[in-house]
Amino acid sequence: DVVMTQTPLSSPVTLGQPASISCRSSQSLVHSDGNTYLSWLHQRPGQPPRLLIYKISNRFSGVPDRFSGSGAGTDFTLKISRVEAEDVGVYYCMQATHFPLTFGGGTKVEIK
């Protein structure tokens, strides 16, 4: 299975400041169809995860533009340009290029 490694495990951030989360896969996530099926999810306490970004950099419907995704191959990044209080929680990367679909271990974002 493809192993997804996220860093850091925890990220204390100041409101209004940027935050960045890294995700590295154990093998390339470029699919034979040319797409890279790397997504980012956000989970608030007591809630199910929700989709933020798909195929590296595509924001899902309703996701604020302060969230952006980048990367290629095996290295990917989620950036929050200015953290707001509602952004706290755990962020997960996930890949669907290789079977079975796998998730990163999560990065907890909390306010300093």
Partner 1 sequence: EVQLVESGGGLVQPGGSLRLSCAASGFPFSSYSMHWVRQDPGKGLMWVSRIIRDGSATAYADSVKGRFTISRDNSRNTLYLQMNSLRAGDTAVYYCVRGLHGSGSYSDWGQGTLVTVSS
Number of residues that bind partner 1 (CB under 8 A): 27
| Bridging pattern class, strands 10-13 and 107-111 | parallel
* Binding letters toward partner 1, positions 70-89, x by CB under 8 A: --------------------
Tally DSSP H helices, then E strands, for the chain: 0, 11
Show the site string, 1-30: x = touches partner 1 by CB under 8 A, - = not.
Answer: ------------------------------
Report the alpha-carbon distance of residue 5 to residue 96 in Å, rounded: 15
> Residue 12 in contact with residue 88, Cβ under 8 Å?
no
For partner 1, the binding residues (CB under 8 A) are 31, 35, 37-39, 41, 48-51, 54-55, 58, 60, 92, 94-97, 99-106
